[in-house]
Structure 1
Amino acid sequence: MRWVLRFFALLCLGLGIVGVFLPGLPTTVFILMASWAAARSSPRIHAWLHRHKLFGPMLRNWEAGGYVSRRAKYSAAITMALSAAILWWLAQPWWAPMLASSCMAGVLLWLWRRPEPPTATAKN
């Protein structure tokens, strides 16, 4: 089972990296799944993900309380808006961009309802 989880972690990591460059492919979800699988199969990959310049802060925020940074929310919203515009411009059957845009709107609604990480300067 360890090899299956390690393969799944690497697959998700690869898809997450492609998602950084390809609009419409969700980076965050794949990186979260990669971290989950790596935690159960490869401590080395898991540690690397948490030390990574791009993925580490996202994973630490999520594990600290399901936090999503405002920057990540804006980035997702802009990327999804561009993806929807391209779909509406290129797609032939009207229902395809309608379905995709509806799914993206649902994800954005969920995403913007996630708490943001507490600021480092806030005192309790």
Structure 2
Amino acid sequence: MSYLGTPTPHSGRGSPVSGGGSSLWRAPEVHHPDWSQRAVQRTWRTVGTVFVAIGVVNAFIPLLPTTIFLLIGLWAFGKSDPQMCARLLDHPRFGHSLRLWVEKRQMTRKSKIAACCGIGLSAAFTALVIGPKTVTWAVMAGLGGLCMYLASRPEPTPVA
């Protein structure tokens, strides 16, 4: 059967369709990418967009982290949208820091100090709000471990 519904002779393609006493042939189906793959790709693109948007908003609010949200957005776009991933890596303001982390797991000293100061402020705020409880000590230990991890990351070598 043609795409318009009229019978066509068998050409070696398609599949037989029984109907009305004569054998008709159905045109081969067009294969599209699996809907689940498209759904997963859209989900990663949405996650990337949300985290980059949070990072952009945080860029204009003092003391809120920007780079970590851009890194999460970059990771999500790496799974769904290579063009957006490349745009983030080529960004004039944040591209260098993102590229250092993605390619070499390096951080500048200024970035380490800023991150650890921000983490310290968050730890102090958590202690102030929650008080001296077990969960506070667990959060402090986790944030302290995070600061040690960040401090242990290599710094880029200066270009001469």
TM-score under structure 1 length normalisation: 0.79
Find out whether 1:6 has 2:42 as its counterpart: no
The 3 A distance-change label for structure 1 pair 83 and 107 is same
Deviations 1:45-95 (A, max 9, x none): 212212323321111101331111111100011111112222222224522
**C-alpha distance in 2 between matches for 1:100 and 1:44:** 37
Match of residue 64 from structure 1: 103
Q: Following TM superposition, where does structure 1 have runs of at least 4 consecutive aligned residues deviating by more than 6 angstroms?
A: none
Aligned-CA RMSD value = 2.3
Say whether 1:30 aligns with 2:59.
no
1:16 is aligned to: 55
> Which moves more between the two structures, 68-77 or 53-62?
53-62
Say which SS state the counterpart of residue 41 (structure 1) adopts: coil
Q: Mind listing any 5+ residue stretches in structure 2 that lack a counterpart?
A: 1-39
Deviation, structure 1 residue 22: 7.4
Of 151, 155, 160, the residue aligned with 1:112 is 151
Aligned length, in residue pairs: 120
Which residue does the alignment assign to 2:82? Answer: 43
Give the conservation status (yes or no) of the 8 Å contact 2:65–2:118: no
Structure 1: give runs of 5+ residues left out of the alignment.
Answer: none
> In proportion to residue count, which structure has more helix?
1
> Which structure is higher in strand share?
2
